Structure 1
């Protein structure tokens, strides 16, 4: 399987079906922010969702972790809600914790992040909304 699966709906479907734990990097405590709404959707879809946001300690009564390394269980997908320039660093952190895949939201796409993921044999999706993909591929 190619590591960049941004245009591969079948690979995205398989990834979403096989995954159980999603860490949302940049999860906002503001319920009107997209990251919050998509995390809520993922929870309703049955995923265990961890908030990763170093600026807060709790979101909706659940612990928010300062980094991926602090998440207490293995991560299937790291869902990234950070600006494009931060994606390579998030990819480094995701690889370091052994995340099975990286999913960068709509508008987030970086060639260095893609190269790093490919070098680590870690599937990456960029510039695709995980909620839209999930609702299209699994509903």
Structure 2
């Protein structure tokens, strides 16, 4: 099984499902951090046109480019639907943010060859990867 830190290390494009229009919300802060670290963040939001300077999409199926990680900031009860949508677009990973756990969604995604992370924050994992890299460079 691949570790979350390895998933984040190889990711370049992250679709953030539930990216808030409120910059004080965790989804906006995490997405802004990932974007500042050089990742392409694709907002998925039901009404926004643009978030963080990127075109927002109403659904994963509208995204024209490959998505490495589908990062879900929505209730656990919705995760199975997001897993199916992530499969439909050929995403590499379904990532359920910190506090979100849905074993059925994980089984659905894994059955289609996707990596799955639950109850972890992409920004925290990314910071850990950066910290490890800095430590290795100083040794």
TM-score when normalising by structure 1: 0.89
Q: Which residue of 1 aligns with 2:82?
A: 90
**Larger CA Rg, structure 1 vs 2:** 2
| Count of aligned pairs | 131
Q: CA deviation at 1:13?
A: 2.1
Q: Which residue of 1 aligns with 2:105?
A: 113
Ranges in structure 2 where 5+ consecutive residues have no aligned partner: 132-139
**Higher RCO (Cα < 8 Å, 6 or more apart):** 1
SS in 2 for 1:65: coil
Q: Which residue of 1 aligns with 2:65?
A: 73
1:34 pairs, out of 20, 23, 26, with: 26
TM-score when normalising by structure 2: 0.89
Ranges in structure 1 where 5+ consecutive residues have no aligned partner: 6-10
Q: Which residue of 1 aligns with 2:39?
A: 47
CA contact (8 A) 1:103 1:126 kept: yes
CA RMSD of aligned residues (A): 1.2
